[in-house]
């Protein structure tokens, strides 16, 4: 998704901006650009594609002093929404070469504003919604307003979810910054200041960060930052000290970040577990605080992979705590008038803490009077700050667009919540809860054993890499894993893949089975495995290529499978309850190796963004 970076008051500003943009690359983008004030002119350089193209363009432009002379510079990575991928539509967008703006989000009422500006003589060069911003600034500056006044007037005209930074040749020592729903951070330096879409994009410059709140805007100068709230009153926002994450952007010897992140799971899972446990089996979660004083229905909302984690959470919480759980796609929840009958609290799940759909669902739940809890990976993110209570996954930075270690970390936290609720509402015997709590500590070594299956998974990947379409099947706790396996595969390999509940096949999807279509099933013995194997047999009889990833017992029952990948031997209950975490590993490895063999851009797949900050 789009990212913005700005530097004011520091020599080599444009160089620092480019470094910041590199840190935002993980979000996904399709063009990039920067604008700097240099030698009394506004110099804009933009290019399609990766940042290396922008860097090449920068080194070729005639003004060789751009890097050394500029003390004020803004930059952008664009993920196309309005208008195709082109240099014209890349940011910064300018007006009369005197104002430049970089913008994340969408100006919803841009068409009306654009028509008015055209009738006033402004010429539009792009198809973007953003271009109204520099022209509006220009209009108000020409009317005699200073930069702050001009910015205020611009904000009065626009609607939508956005974060932007503007600079002007007429006010060479000022940046105007504003946020509404989309995140933005201001970094404080010594006689210089910085702006970034997230703290990480500017942590090479400062560790003192201020997050603007919704509706805030700021005038940023090299030696001053003035912040105002939506009522135009001066606002004091907390300064947060962040630790620079050194070594963050290295692949540590792996070919891709995704591969590194898959193999980090045995390390990040114990990191996630430890704040929630006292000793071996005592869980430290204050359920009363989270709105679980009484036995109410819990609502969980999330998007993408985080939604599949929510699905698993529903199965666990209902089974272990006998507490009803409703799960909802965040993008659907926010536009409904949901009944909150019997509900006291909601839980949102988000790796980035910035998914706009999930943030809006959280706000919707808050307006409806629910206590809002969040499972979130990025501390200090908007969802982390806005939720009443946060439970952090400590998966570390996840750079690959595909969620891997953050998914298993979310599952671990959900399992811990399920156990805490099970204990509180005395659904299971204490000894049983204790047994399951002990399981949590054996997870890291179990995951490491699952990772040892890589070579077998690689050979399956090699075999299916040219398939046109792939079907994933699962039942019960492993149904969400079928959906997750299909999502992982399609997003990075671009092969069409669908996940189905195995029992649903005969209600329609079985029509998709034709000769050699790969059908992949995750399975562990749970007493119902015969049913799942019958579903697999039905696909086999219609010519599908059957790939079964299962425990020994299930494999014995499906001799017809073309590929049988046996998972390591685990205790029966452990294997059953924690199967979604265990099976996430082959699902991730399979997607990774198929994509790697196909030579796709594994870490930044086409059209996708790491944090989705538009609707």
Catalytic residues: 2, 610
- Within 118-147, the residues that bind ligand M6R by CB under 6 A are none
CA distance 393 to 583: 19
The 363-402 site mask, x for binding ligand M6R (CB under 6 A), equals: --------------------------------------xx
- Based on CB atoms, which residue is closest to ligand M6R, 264 or 491? 491
What's the rounded Cα separation, in Å, for the pair 87 and 148? 29
Residue (304 or 338) nearer to ligand M6R, CB = 304
> Quick one: which of 576, 605, 609, 607 has its CA closest to 591?
605
CB nearer to ligand M6R: pick between 304 and 480: 304
The one segment of 132-140, 256-264, 291-299, 300-308 that binds ligand M6R by CB under 6 A = 300-308
296 belongs to the binding site for ligand M6R (CB under 6 A)? no
* CA gap 99, 35 in Å, rounded: 10
Helix (H) or strand (E) run with residue 31 in it: strand 31-38
Site residues (CB under 6 A) for ligand M6R, limited to 158-197:
none
Spell out, one character per residue from 252 to 271, where the chain touches ligand M6R: x when CB under 6 A holds, - when not. --------------------
Positions in 564-593 near ligand M6R (CB under 6 A): none
Pairing verdict, β 343-350 and 389-392: unpaired
- Smallest separation, CB 479 to ligand M6R (Å): 17
Q: How far is the CB of 491 from ligand M6R (least distance, A)?
A: 6
Q: Which is nearer to ligand M6R, 176 or 472 (CB)?
A: 472
Among 306, 382, 579, 604, the residue binding ligand M6R under the rule CB under 6 A is: 306
Whether 93 and 133 have beta carbons less than 8 Å apart is answered as yes
Listed residue (76, 62, 63) closest to 37, CA to CA: 63
Q: Closest distance between ligand M6R and the C-beta of residue 28, in Å? A: 9
Contact, 101 vs 76, CB < 8 A? no
Asked if residues 291 and 370 have their Cβ atoms less than 8 Å apart, the reply is: yes
Asked whether 299 and 347 are in contact (CB, 8 A), the reply is yes
Q: What is the CA radius of gyration of the chain?
A: 26
Q: How many C-beta atoms lie closer than 10 Å to residue 444's C-beta?
A: 18
Nearer to ligand M6R, 429 or 606 (CB): 606
Judged by CB under 6 A, the residue of 472, 612, 613, 614 near ligand M6R is 612
Tell me the closest approach of the beta carbon of residue 400 to ligand M6R, in angstroms: 8
Least distance to ligand M6R from the beta carbon of 592, Å? 12
Q: Which stretch binds ligand M6R (CB under 6 A): 67-75, 81-89, 246-254, 302-310?
A: 302-310
Nearest to 373 by CA among 342, 347, 334: 347
CA nearest neighbour of 305 among 210, 382, 411: 411
Q: Check residue 326 and report its DSSP letter.
A: E
Rounded CA separation 430/423 (Å): 7
For residue 491, state whether it binds ligand M6R (rule: CB under 6 A). yes
DSSP-assigned letters across all residues of 248-311: TT--TT-SSHHHHHHHTHHHHHHHHHGGGEETTTEE---TTTTT-SS--EEEEEE-HHHHHHHH
| Residue with smaller CB distance to ligand M6R, 305 or 596 | 305
Q: Mask: binding to ligand M6R, 334-363, rule CB under 6 A, as x and -?
A: ----------------xxx--x--x-----
- The residues of the shown chain that bind ligand M6R, judged by CB under 6 A, are 303-306, 350-352, 355, 358, 401-403, 487, 491, 611-612
């Amino acid at each position: 998704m789009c990212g913005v970076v700005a530097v004011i008051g520091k020599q080599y500003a444009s160089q620092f901006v480019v470094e910041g943009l590199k840190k935002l690359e993980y979000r996904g983008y399709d063009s990039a650009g920067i604008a700097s004030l240099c030698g009394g002119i506004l110099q804009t350089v933009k290019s399609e594609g990766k940042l290396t193209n922008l860097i090449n363009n920068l080194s070729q432009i005639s003004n060789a002093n751009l890097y050394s002379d500029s003390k004020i510079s803004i930059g952008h990575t664009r993920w196309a929404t309005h208008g195709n991928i082109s240099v014209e539509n890349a940011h910064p967008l300018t007006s009369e070469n005197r104002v430049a703006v970089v913008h994340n989000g969408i100006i919803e009422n841009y068409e009306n504003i654009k028509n008015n500006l055209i009738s006033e003589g402004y010429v539009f060069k792009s198809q973007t919604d953003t271009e109204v911003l520099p022209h509006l600034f220009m209009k108000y500056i020409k009317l005699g307003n200073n930069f702050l006044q001009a910015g205020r007037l611009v904000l009065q005209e626009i609607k939508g979810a956005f974060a932007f930074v503007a600079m002007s040749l007429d006010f060479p020592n000022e940046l105007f910054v504003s946020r509404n729903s989309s995140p933005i951070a201001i970094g404080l330096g010594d006689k210089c200041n910085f702006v970034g879409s997230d703290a990480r994009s500017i942590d090479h410059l400062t560790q003192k960060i201020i997050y603007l709140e919704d509706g805030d805007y700021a005038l940023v100068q090299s030696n001053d930052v003035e912040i105002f709230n939506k009522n135009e009153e001066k606002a004091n926002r907390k300064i947060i000290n962040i630790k620079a994450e050194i070594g963050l952007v290295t692949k540590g010897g792996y070919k891709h970040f995704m591969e590194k992140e898959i193999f980090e799971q045995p390390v990040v899972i114990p990191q996630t577990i430890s704040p929630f446990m006292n000793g071996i089996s005592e869980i430290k979660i204050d359920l009363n605080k989270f709105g679980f004083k009484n036995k109410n229905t819990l609502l969980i909302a999330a998007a993408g992979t985080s939604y599949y984690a929510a699905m698993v959470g529903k199965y666990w919480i209902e089974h272990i705590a006998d507490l009803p759980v409703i799960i909802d796609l965040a993008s659907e929840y926010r536009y409904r008038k949901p009944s909150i009958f019997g509900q006291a609290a909601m839980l949102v799940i988000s790796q980035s803490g910035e998914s706009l759909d999930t943030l809006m669902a959280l706000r919707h739940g808050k307006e409806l009077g629910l206590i809002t809890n969040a499972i979130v990976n990025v501390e200090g993110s908007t969802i982390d700050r806005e939720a009443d209570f946060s439970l952090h996954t400590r998966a570390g930075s996840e750079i690959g667009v595909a969620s891997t270690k953050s998914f298993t970390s979310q599952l671990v936290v959900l399992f811990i919540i399920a156990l805490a609720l099970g204990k509180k509402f005395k659904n299971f015997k204490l000894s049983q809860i204790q047994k399951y709590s002990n399981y949590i500590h054996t997870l890291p070594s179990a995951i490491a054993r699952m990772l040892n299956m890589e070579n077998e998974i690689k050979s399956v990947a090699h075999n299916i890499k040219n398939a046109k379409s792939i079907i994933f099947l699962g039942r019960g706790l492993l149904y969400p894993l079928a959906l997750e396996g299909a999502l992982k595969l399609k997003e990075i390999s671009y092969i069409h893949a669908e996940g189905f509940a195995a029992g649903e096949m005969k209600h329609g999807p079985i029509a998709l089975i034709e000769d050699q279509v790969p059908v992949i099933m995750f399975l562990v013995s749970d007493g119902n495995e015969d049913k799942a194997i019958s579903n697999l047999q039905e696909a086999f009889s219609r010519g599908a290529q059957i790939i079964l990833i299962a425990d020994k017992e299930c494999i014995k029952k499906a001799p017809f499978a073309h590929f049988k990948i046996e998972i390591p031997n685990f205790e029966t209950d452990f294997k059953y309850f924690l199967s979604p975490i265990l099976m996430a590993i082959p699902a991730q490895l399979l997607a990774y190796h198929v994509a790697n063999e196909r030579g796709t851009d594994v870490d930044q797949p086409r059209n996708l963004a790491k944090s989705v900050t538009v609707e």
